[in-house]
């Protein structure tokens, strides 16, 4: 492993110049699945290989399952497990005598397997290079994402409360201008972020924009990455604290449920392994209690989109996590009602002060 890591460091520059070496999630899963198929088929033509290679093939299958269930398909250790087991299988195949003449189809399959392993190794090295760049990034929290947009926002509109929608991909993917035309709603979601990254963005992406309120929808990525519940709670409460300190009304939204209904279409749509519903419910109960204790508003998306089985309604998200247009249509009136509640006192005070 140390030698491989050292080699990765040496070729990191090459990988950066050749991004095509890095496979997409679906591509890597397809490649690994094909490698298992080739390993299984070649055991039939080499006496003794089926028995010797069985544990290695099973290790491969398990590594693929782990990757499919992982919070991130960039789990380097699981990719490494796939690669080392594939190479172990080829080493076993080379060590076991083969029948003569060796069938041409079997020769073709072994060639394809070797080429596939080389492709997997290139992907793994590119993946390590990517992680190295990410670790060395001076912008871990992605403050650069909205830097220029924030400069263009300008002051809040007169007579309309500005609201910042703050969160991860579920917020990032919500076209607010389409669902809430003529509203001073600002989207500051960033796909993939966890609550600690959002906490670091509070000054630039929320406070400096001087909103009357903010809608916080966060925590699902933390759960998926194994962030302790107590840490998620601390981060969310600190975000709300900062908002309150700067006279911004925090609206704390429930974490959305998930579903596994489309896992047969794409193994990556198996969501319940990395995002257990028990953890989601536990955090939502805590959010409700926090809002009661602190006088914040709790926005209950969860109850409106959960089905009788306790999962996200199938028709509201194809991938089991991110709302589709129908999902956002259910959420839109709920968030509007919540925003109205926290901004109404401000608007009422203005009317009393300026009755004309």
pLDDT tens digit sequence for 84-97: 999 999 999 999 99
- Farthest CA pair distance, the chain: 99
Same domain membership, residue 241 and residue 112: no
Same domain membership, residue 148 and residue 10: no
Same domain membership, residue 319 and residue 178: yes
Band the pLDDT of 306: cuts 50, 70, 90.
very high
Same domain membership, residue 103 and residue 81: yes
Q: Where does a domain end: 99, 117, 135?
A: 135
Is 0.85 topped by the overall pTM? no
Same domain membership, residue 147 and residue 47: no
Task: Locate the DSSP E strands across the chain.
Answer: 163-167, 185-189, 213-217, 249-253, 297-299
CATH classification at residue 81: 1.20.140
Same domain membership, residue 212 and residue 154: yes
The pLDDT of residue 19 is 45
- Calculate the average pLDDT of the chain: 89
C-alpha 248: how far from chain center:
28
pLDDT tens for 105-163 read 999 999 999 999 999 999 999 988 887 877 777 888 999 999 999 999 999 988 899 99
Query: How far apart, in whole angstroms, are the C-alpha atoms of residue 92 and residue 90?
Result: 5
Same domain membership, residue 155 and residue 105: no
Of 189, 148, 183, 194, the C-alpha closest to 171 is 189
Q: Which residues contact 172 (CB under 8 A, 6 or more apart)?
A: 187, 189, 190, 191
Same domain membership, residue 332 and residue 194: yes
The pLDDT of residue 9 is 45
Same domain membership, residue 124 and residue 152: no
Asked if residues 92 and 4 have their Cβ atoms less than 8 Å apart, the reply is: no
Q: How many domains does the chain have?
A: 2
Domain of residue 188, residue span: 143-353
């Amino acid at each position: 492993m140390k030698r491989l890591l050292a080699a990765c460091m040496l070729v990191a520059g090459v990988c950066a110049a050749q991004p095509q070496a890095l496979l997409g999630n679906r591509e890597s899963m397809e490649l690994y699945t094909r490698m298992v198929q080739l390993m299984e088929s070649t055991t039939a033509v080499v006496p003794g290989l089926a028995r010797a290679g069985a544990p290695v093939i099973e290790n491969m299958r398990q590594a693929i399952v782990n990757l499919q269930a992982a919070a991130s398909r960039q789990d380097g250790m699981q990719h490494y497990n796939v690669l080392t087991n594939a190479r172990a299988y080829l080493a076993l195949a080379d060590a076991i005598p083969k029948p003569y003449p060796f069938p041409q189809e079997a020769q073709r399959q072994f060639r394809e397997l070797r080429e596939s392993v080389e492709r997997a190794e290139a992907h793994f090295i590119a993946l390590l290079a990517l992680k190295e760049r990410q670790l060395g990034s001076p912008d871990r929290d992605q403050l650069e994402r909205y830097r220029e947009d924030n400069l263009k926002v300008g002051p809040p509109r007169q007579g309309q409360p500005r609201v910042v929608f703050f969160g991860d991909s579920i917020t990032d993917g919500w076209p607010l201008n389409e669902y809430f035309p003529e509203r001073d709603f600002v989207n500051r979601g960033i796909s993939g972020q966890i609550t600690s990254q959002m906490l670091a963005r509070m000054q630039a992406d929320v406070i400096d924009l001087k909103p009357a309120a903010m809608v916080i929808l966060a925590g699902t990525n933390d759960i998926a990455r194994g962030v302790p519940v107590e840490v998620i709670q601390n981060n969310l409460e600190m975000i709300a604290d900062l908002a309150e300190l700067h006279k911004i009304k925090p609206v704390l939204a429930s974490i959305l449920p998930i579903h596994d209904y489309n896992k047969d279409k794409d193994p990556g749509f198996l969501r319940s392994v990395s995002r257990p519903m028990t953890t989601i419910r536990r955090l939502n109960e805590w959010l409700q209690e926090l809002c009661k204790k602190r006088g914040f508003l709790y926005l209950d998306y969860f109850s409106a989109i959960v089905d009788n089985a306790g999962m996200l309604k199938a028709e509201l998200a194809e991938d089991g996590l991110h709302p589709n247009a129908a999902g956002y249509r259910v959420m839109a009136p709920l968030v509007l009602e919540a925003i109205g509640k926290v901004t109404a006192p401000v608007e009422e005070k203005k009317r009393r002060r300026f009755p004309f």
